Amino acid sequence: MSDRFDFSVSATDGRARTGTIRTPRGDIRTPAFMPVGTAATVKAMLPESVRATGADILLGNTYHLMLRPGAERIARLGGLHRFMNWERPILTDSGGFQVMSLAGLRKLTEEGVTFSSHVDGSKHMLSPETSMEIQRLLGSDIVMAFDECPALPATVDEVAKSMRMSMRWAQRSRDAFGDRPGHALFGIMQGGVTRELREESAEALKAIGFEGYAIGGLAVGEGQEAMFGVLDYAPGFLPEDKPRYLMGVGKPDDIVGAVQRGVDMMDCVLPSRSGRTGQAWTRRGQVNIKNARHADDPRPLDEECTCPACTGYSRAYLHHVFRAGEMISGMLLTWHNLHYFQELMAGMREAIAAGRLDGFVADFHARRAGGDIAPL
């Protein structure tokens, strides 16, 4: 294993690319989907089960972990990898998004954000410097710069003002990150749905210099058409030789469209959250296992899937345990959803390498358009 962090592209197909991010804790095959382990756990899954689905990297959450159990405690216990029993790469977000969406009584200044914890009401401060220190204590392999996410809807002037402050914070994050061989700092492009602001943000980030670049401020309710509109140009503003990470995406069709537009990494709570609410994602689209049509159905959720939920259990069983409120329901459906998402990524990596992504995408959409198998 390398003691450095680097990225190489092995094949391209249109704007889509496949390659490898190398870290001291292992390689990440791109395009990559990163399951979200918010509070040092991917809900309802053991780490080795997450790995078995094909995941190379997990996402941890700075905001949640700083509040509970605390970054200093995790550091004393040997760091986040040992704490959660995941020895492969971890990316931590900076906490900026959660402060905006979850925390109470927040006050934003040039210095940072003061806020009240949603857990116990205690007062905290997050700034570029404190975010870098918390992520250093956690020991994550990929650290995100601290940025501000304006609440939507926002005017172009509000988005511009927020983006420019995020760029000043990006410089402070870079300065505070210091020299950490084997660890990477990613800058985050902002600018809403305005092309000129996205370009200004990208130029500011490139002038600072990062090991990777994220596209932030999307998947926040603007809709797929607007998101793809931004992705038609935004990845092209970023360096070719560095990974591009689209934050918070998404549904399978969002992921496929993002990869087609040159994105290398994505994360989303969707597969695990859906799994706990009886929603399964399959090659034929979404299946709601709570529906009565599944009560007597002996067939698997997806006859082509090799996950434990599909190889060992019927739709009738999955329907029963969901309706009965049994814990195994969330476990099996989460495993299935994560397996499907990773299978989708593997299929795209293979298709890009073979130069046949367009055919793969056409088949993906055609199968979903056909809908679920007919009821018995």
Integer Cα distance of 217 and 151 in angstroms: 9
Question: Whose CA is closest to 219, among 196, 188, 192?
Answer: 192
Q: Is 3 an active-site residue?
A: no
Q: What is the dihedral of CA 48, 49, 55, 61, to 10 degrees?
A: -80
Element (H, E) at 131: helix 128-138
267 counts as catalytic: yes
Catalytic entry in 56, 93, 141, 372: 93
Q: Say which residues have a Cβ less than 8 Å from residue 352's Cβ, sequence separation at least 6.
A: 11, 12, 13, 16, 17, 18, 31, 259
Q: Are 247 and 268 in contact (CB under 8 A)?
A: no
261, with CB counted inside 10 A (0-12, 13-18, 19+), is: buried
Dihedral sign, CA of 265, 268, 271, 272?
positive
Q: Please identify which of the residues 13, 141, 147, 267 carries the catalytic annotation.
A: 267
Q: Which helix (H) or strand (E) holds 348?
A: helix 327-354
Instruction: State the catalytic residues.
Output: 93, 267
